[in-house]
Amino acid sequence: MNNKPKIGVYVCHCGMNIAKTVDVEAVSEFASRLPYVKVARNYSYMCSDPGQQLIKEDIKNEGLTRVVVASCSPRMHENTFRKTLAAAGLNPYYLEMANIREHCSWVHENREEATAKAKKLVYAAVAKVRLLEPLEEKEVEVEPSALIVGGGIAGIQAALDIAAAGFKVYMVEKTPSVGGKMSQLDKTFPTLDCSACILTPKMVDVASHPNIELMTYSQVEDITGYVGNFNVKVRKKARYVDINKCTGCGACAQECRLAGTIPSEFNMGLGKRAAIYLPFPQAVPAKYTIDKERCLFLTRGKCGKGPKCIEACAAGAINFEQQDEIVEFKVGTIIIATGYELFDPAKKPEYGYADYDNVITGLELERLVAASGPTGGEIVIGKGEKAIVPKEVAFISCVGSRDESVGKPYCSRVCCMYSAKLAHLVTEKLPDANVRIYYMDVRAFGKGYEEFYDRVRREGVRYIRGNPSEIFKRGDKLVIKAEDTLAGRTLEDEVDLVVLATGLEPRQDAREIIDILKLSQSADGFYLEAHPKLAPVDTATDGVYLAGCAQGPKDIPDTVAQAKGAASSALILLSSGKVKVQAQISNINEATCRGCGYCVEICPFGAIDLVEVNRMGNIVQVARVNEALCKGCGACAAGCFSGSAQQKSFKDQQILPQIAVLGAMK
Amino acid sequence: MNTDLNTEMQSFIQKYDLLGCIQCGRCTGGCPVTVRTNLNVRRIVYDSRNEEVLEELAKLPEIWDCTACNTCAVRCPKGLKPVEVLIGLRNILVEEGSVEPTVRDALESIFREGNPWNKSRATRCDWMEGLDVRIVEPGEKVENLIFVCCTIAYDPKVQGIAKNLVKILNKAGVDYGFIGESESCCASEAHNMGEEGLFEMAIEDNTELLNSYEAKRLVAISPHCYAAFKNQYPDLKAEVIHYTHLLKELLEEKKITITKECAEKVIFHDPCFLGKQNNVFDEPRYILKQVGGAELVEFDRKRERSLCCEGGGGKMWVEGSATKAERLAETRVKDAREREATVLAVACPFCVLTLDDALKARGFEEEMRVAEILEFIGPLVE
């Protein structure tokens, strides 16, 4: 540091936010007498143009080398004032803020005491600011490609947008086909668009787009690196079918000895498939996969006199020797669009889902009403002689939503509307059926939703306000035990079919991505966005974005909108080609580090590694910070036993004088 | 506004978290007695939010129809306990001294003699006569400290439950001990009848007594004592288990075997305080399945969906307002008959009493009998 520092102190009134409780005049007068302070001023709004101008002029005219702004939280305006300093030719990190609003005026009433505290905070900032060092913001190159994890509608939309902008996209989907949950829906609310009709073209686009490399039946194994430069490792699971040869003709599935015996995941177990299968007719890619958990040849090493699928396949695509394949590639940005799972209603045994065939979930009914479903679109419960066409149909909403008794306090946002939609489809298919929906509140918040709710009611769907408590059997009927809370009447409602509107929950395997990318979860278990309002698609990990129900329950319009938002965020990175990394990062003094590795353990961003160095002829381990990954949280500095880890702008020698001042002042 | 009342009101609302209620109706929907009475607990929770009407609400006859089965609390999506609101209202009556004489007598008897049955403490162990029962003294080390339950101790109709347990424990050669005359009511039913002060006192006294033994486990015979010790006694040192836990263990470790065959069709009725409230569903079934020759069948309304027999919540001492429909216990025996059961097995003394009455009222004595699990398997164990 050359010469003595020249400090400028600027006390903000924040209108009356600060000035009402803190005597700003007295604070600036006090500041003007502090060591190295050249000028001290107070002003109504320091963040305003004229306020910033004051600082710029003083830097120019008074030759200030350090600036203290006493105003609001640094989260609010630290960046604003850094830019002010930079504009006046000063290193932006020569700034220190004293928070006399959130930490003082807003939380105190006594003006005298608040003023005394504001003085302390300003003094502490002055004590620190003179010791700050100039920092530089580094830039790193961005790999011009994106990874999208999850091939549902969220992932599909994000992939198409990024690909359309001219960047390479790698899409990794766990199941044999893209399409996700949306592909299982018959119609979509409130417009009653055929789900497959609007989704299938997008699925096909994903597979055929020259910029998109689609990896289905694949799983992300590991991701290392940092924003702009992620290294991705993907396991392509063996399908035992050469997808370059498979024509999707289906002869193999017809011949399979297990044809028609394995519950079809796509049809929610209501239909059966073979061990070699295409999940659904519109699957993309239209390539068959062998279920290795079920296939006789793969589980027992024997399938009659030989696997019949091999004989049946004219293209010679079946290959039981196929192995998992590991592929590695680099991307600049990542979008997590892994979706959700449905609440398992067996966890609410009072509804008898596990006991009765005619208690089903909404998605199961979706498959029953779908023309491509196991009954060809007929609503039939049971098989053979016992099969019935239900006359009395009841929906129960909020099954696994808004329910603390099963640890699901949140609203799943789609069940009210999908129940209304399904109720409509039931009345359409079964005009003689009496349909009612048991509800607690109807949440019809989206565009056209309330109107759809109005329509469905007028079509004859009865809404009964009361959340049923129990279902049991009386003869052939199911009895719903409930209260009509508007009438104050208890009911034992006898019906033929109960449809449970099960809520949305985080995927069971959500942890896998968390472990790989160090994402956070919100209390409901979904992935946590960086800010609930202003950064809803970002995560705490730079370059990683969220889309769709992985972040929380959403309907299709919101999912698509968020996917486009995530794509836009990813494209900002990709199209600028460079990314600035945090300047106030940690640094480890390798000369004093003893390589204990404690900081490696506590770093929440995986930014510290142990490396071997030669110390006077001895090979020793020391910790080293990856500057692109470090977020400057300071955990390593706080945890380091030898004081070797120090965070820039928060070094011990910078904050100890600040603390000393606070302790010394009465 | 009367500030005293206001403060009291605040505490009533806060105590039962009444503002957390969203009036979804799941409590009343699940309430088993609604088919028989006008009780609407959802409505009472709603009305209780008005300080003016608490005393008036307490006078509604149907608040005594609640059997404390706890279904409303188990199912509430917001974590409220509507049943406790009813008990809170009963407490107002207890404080005023305006409860039924039968209830008053039961409460006084718990206070004076440590049992709700107006029996002398000195006769608490009469059921042991002729049996080789090990009684332990405070300070003594014991693996399984057995807690008998006042109803089992005094009511000849259910004393067989304890007698059979003694026989089984002796055969198993397991380390156990009974408390003897100093054993006092768990006061679970005092709580359910709204006598909070007495319940608190019982918790204090019983905790001191039970902790004075060096017991590893406290084995309750009645699900009502089990539920109280497990969920409402915070400071017990011993692990609280139900006898069906112990019995399953003894069978698994082959310390006892059910050797005699018994060609009966057995149906098990889940007691609310054991099943719904404490998720003990599998142990009783495991025990019954060990009986050779017997076939175990199930009610449609089983496990979490079991139908209350109306034995709890003070119903042993107060009839309540129910007029409509048949007793739930009668529904239950009818359902059991429909499944052609010959033995209606239970694991609770109250269930024995209510179901046995219902069975007689229905005239099913020829075809079926009600048997507590211990009474059923006792004679079959070698």
- What CATH number is attached to the domain comprising B296? 3.40.50
Q: How far apart are the first and last CA of chain A?
A: 31
Cis ω before A345 (30° cut-off from 0): no
List, as ranges, residues 12-41 from B with C-beta within 8 Å of A.
22-31, 34-35, 40
Peptide bond into A285 cis (omega under 30): yes
Q: What is the pLDDT of residue A627?
A: 85
Both structure tokens of A306: 């030989």
- Region label for A548, one of left (φ > 0), alpha (ψ between -120 and 50) or beta (otherwise): left
Of B29, B35, B303, the CB nearest to A469: B29
- Taking an 8 Å cut-off on Cβ atoms, the answer to whether B22 and A492 are in contact is no
CATH number at residue B13: 1.10.1060.10
Which domains does chain A carry?
A: 7-137 (3.40.50), 145-237+324-339+507-576 (3.50.50.60), 251-312 (no CATH), 342-505 (3.50.50.60), 586-647 (3.30.70.20)
Q: Is B185 in the same domain as B107?
A: yes
Q: Is B346 found in the same domain as B268?
A: yes
In terms of Cβ atoms closer than 10 Å to its own Cβ (0-12, 13-18, 19+), residue A69 is buried
Cβ–Cβ gap A470/B23 under 8 Å: no
- A83 shares contact with chain B (CB less than 8 Å): no
Q: How deeply is A54 buried, as exposed, middle or buried, from its count of CB atoms within 10 A (0-12, 13-18, 19+)? A: middle
Question: Quick check: A472 and B77 CB within 8 A?
Answer: no
Task: Find where tokens 């079918």 sit.
Answer: A241
Contact status, residue A157 vs residue A563, Cβ threshold 8 Å: yes
Alpha-carbon distance of B351 to A133, in angstroms, equals 79
**Tokens for A636?**
């390593």
pLDDT higher than threshold 60 for residue A620: yes
CA distance, residue A503 to nearest chain B CA (Å) = 14
Q: How far apart are CA B111 and CA A314, in angstroms?
A: 88
Confidence class of residue A605 from pLDDT cuts 50, 70 and 90? confident
Residue type, A658: Q
Q: What average pLDDT does range B140-145 have in this prediction?
A: 96
SS3 label, residue B211? helix
* ipTM (interface pTM): 0.92
Lowest model confidence (mean pLDDT) among A130-134, A278-282, A314-318, A660-664 = A660-664
Q: Which residues between 389 and 418 in chain A have a beta carbon less than 8 angstroms from any beta carbon of chain B?
A: 398, 402-405
For residue B80, give the nearest of A665, A159, A403 by alpha carbon. A403
Residue B78 to residue A352, Cβ atoms within 8 A:
no
Mean pLDDT confidence for A510-535: 93
* Chain-chain contact of A466 with B79 (C-beta, under 8 angstroms): no
Interacting residues of B57 by C-beta distance below 8 A, sequence separation 6+: B44, B47, B48, B63, B89
Mutate to test the interface with B, among A485, A489, A491 (most CBs of B within 10 A): A485
Cβ-in-10-Å burial (0-12, 13-18, 19+) of A601 comes to exposed
Selecting from A403, A466, A470 the residue whose C-beta is nearest the C-beta of B25 gives A466
Which residue of chain B has the CA closest to A472?
B301
- Whether chain B has a CB inside 8 Å of the CB on A137: the answer is no
Residues in A touching B76 (Cβ below 8 Å): 404-405
> Residue B9: is its pLDDT beyond 50?
no
How many whole angstroms separate alpha carbon B356 and alpha carbon B135? 31
For residue range B284-335, list pLDDT tens digits in order.
999 999 999 999 999 999 999 999 999 999 999 988 887 777 999 999 999 9
In the prediction, which pLDDT does B10 show? 56
**A279 DSSP assignment:** S
Q: Are residues B113 and B200 in the same domain?
A: yes
B43/A488 Cβ within 8 A: yes
Query: Do the Cβ atoms of A469 and B30 come within 8 Å?
Result: yes
Q: Please count the CA atoms within 13 angstroms of the CA of B32 that sit on its side-chain side.
A: 28
Chain centroid, CA A262 distance in Å: 33
Q: Are residues B115 and B195 in the same domain?
A: yes
C-alpha closest to that of A122 among A28, A202, A187 = A28
User: What distance in Å separates the CA atoms of residue B268 and residue B286, rounded to the nearest whole number?
Assistant: 11
Spell out the residues 6+ positions from residue A433 whose beta carbon is closer than 8 angstroms to its own: A390, A391, A392, A393, A426, A427
pLDDT greater than 50 at residue B1? no
Residue A192, Ramachandran bin (φ over 0: left; ψ between -120 and 50: alpha; else beta) = left
Closest residue in chain B to residue A404, using alpha carbons only = B77
- Say yes or no: B78 contacts chain A, CB-CB below 8 A: yes
- The CB density around residue B20, as the number of other CB atoms within 10 Å, is 14
- Gap from A414 CA to chain B (nearest CA, Å): 19
Q: How many CB pairs under 8 A join A and B?
A: 82
Q: Is the CB of B73 inside 8 Å of chain A's CB atoms?
A: no
Q: Which helix (H) or strand (E) holds A326?
A: strand A325-331
Q: Which of A402, A470, A471 sits opposite B77 (nearest CB)?
A: A402
Q: Which of B22, B42, B304 is closest, CB to CB, to A350? A: B304
**A481 lies within 8 A of chain B by CB:** yes
Interface test with B, best of A404, A481, A493 (most B CBs within 10 A): A481
B26's tokens: 């799941």
pLDDT averaged over every residue in chain A: 95
The verdict on a CB contact (< 8 Å) between B24 and A467 is yes
Whether residue B29 and residue A398 make contact (CB cut-off 8 A), yes or no, is no
Residues B60 and B195 in one domain: no
Q: How are beta strands A168-172 and A212-215 bridged, if at all?
A: parallel
Query: What's the domain count of chain B?
Result: 3
Orientation angle between helical segments B196-211 and B223-232, nearest 10 degrees: 90
pLDDT at A663: 85
Domain of residue B183, CATH code: 3.40.50.1860
Window 490-519 of A, Cβ < 8 Å to B: 490-492
Structural domain including B68 reads 3-96
* Bridge partners for A559 per DSSP: none
What residues contact A34, with CB distance under 8 A and at least 6 apart? A7, A9, A40, A122, A123, A126
The 8-class DSSP code of residue A548 comes to: G
Question: Does the CA dihedral A271-A274-A276-A281 come out positive or negative?
Answer: negative
Residues B260 and B244 in one domain: no
Tokens 């005394």 -> residue = A116
How far lies A236's CA from each of A43, A158, A455, A616, B164, in Å? 62, 22, 47, 47, 63
| Residue A335, strand partner residues | A148, A545
Band of residue A308 on the pLDDT scale cut at 50, 70, 90 = very high
Return the closest-CA partner of residue A449 out of A363, A532, A364, A558: A558
Residues of B in contact with A441 (CB under 8 A): 22
Q: Which of A405, A471, A491 sits opposite B76 (nearest CB)?
A: A405
Do B149 and B24 fall within a single domain? Answer: no
Interface contact flag, B77 A484, Cβ < 8 Å: no
Q: Hey, which residues 255-294 in chain B have their CB within 8 Å of chain A? A: none
**Interface membership of B334 toward A (CB under 8 Å):** no
What average pLDDT score do residues A116-143 get?
A: 95
The last residue of a domain, from among B96, B114, B145:
B96
Cβ of A272 under 8 Å from any chain B Cβ?
Answer: no
Given B250, B266, B281, the domain boundary residue is B250
* B284 shares its domain with B243: no
pLDDT for the residue numbered B3: 43
Q: What Cα–Cα distance (Å) separates residue A262 from each residue in A265, A270, A276, A293, A386?
A: 9, 10, 10, 11, 21
Residues B218 and B329 in one domain: no
Nearest CB to A349: which of B27, B76, B304?
B304
- Looking at the fold, whether B112 and B221 belong to one and the same domain comes out as yes
Q: Say which of B29, B40, B303 has its CB closest to residue A481.
A: B29
Chain A contact for B42 (CB, 8 A cutoff) = yes
Residues in A touching B46 (Cβ below 8 Å)? none
- 3-class DSSP state for residue A482? strand
Mean pLDDT computed over A341-353:
97
Contact B240, B230 (CB under 8 A): yes
CA nearest A470 in B: which residue?
A: B30
Which of A54, A88, A57 lies closest to A69, judged by CA?
A54
Domain boundary among B74, B96, B118: B96
* Cβ–Cβ < 8 Å for A518, A604: yes
Tell whether A349 lies on the interface with B, counting CB pairs under 8 A. Answer: yes
A1 falls in which pLDDT band (50, 70, 90)?
Answer: very low
Chain A residues lying within 8 Å of B43, measured CB to CB: 488
CA distance A629 to A605: 7
Together in a domain, B219 and B335? no
In this prediction, residue B352 carries a pLDDT of 97
CB–CB contact A484 B25 (8 Å): yes
pLDDT bracket for residue A461 (50, 70, 90): very high
Confidence check: pLDDT of B6 > 60: no
Beta bridge partners of A213: A170
Q: How far is CA B40 from CA A438, A488, A492, B62, B86, in A?
A: 18, 8, 15, 8, 10
Q: How far is A666 from chain B (nearest CA, A)?
A: 42
With 90 as the cut, is the pLDDT of residue A629 above it? no
Contacts 24+ apart (CB under 8 A), A252-257: A252/A276, A252/A288, A252/A309, A252/A312, A252/A313, A252/A318, A253/A277, A253/A278, A253/A288, A253/A309, A254/A312, A255/A308, A255/A309, A255/A311, A255/A312, A256/A308, A256/A309, A257/A296, A257/A303, A257/A304, A257/A308
**Do residues A631 and A605 touch, judged by C-beta distance below 8 A?**
yes
Q: Which residue of B has its CA nearest to A347?
A: B304
* Candidate from A469, A472, A488 with C-beta closest to B26: A469
Residue corresponding to tokens 């007691």: B271
B151 and B239 together in one domain: yes
Backbone angles phi, psi at B58, to 5 degrees: -60, -25
Average pLDDT over residues B27-56: 95
Task: Tell me the per-residue pLDDT of A555-600, one tens digit each, with 9 for 90 and over.
Answer: 999 999 999 999 999 999 999 999 988 899 999 999 999 999 999 9
Local confidence band at A296 (pLDDT 50, 70, 90 cut-offs) = very high
Pairing of strands A434-439, A462-465: parallel
Q: Which residue has the higher pLDDT, A431 or A384?
A: A431
Nearest residue to A541 via CA among A506, A573, A565:
A573
Residue from the list A465, A472, A482 with its beta carbon closest to the beta carbon of B300: A472
Residues B265 and B340: beta-carbon distance below 8 Å? yes
| Min Cα–Cα distance to chain B from A387, Å | 21
Q: Which of residues 106-135 of B touch A (CB under 8 A)?
A: none
- The pLDDT, as a whole number, for residue B2 is 43
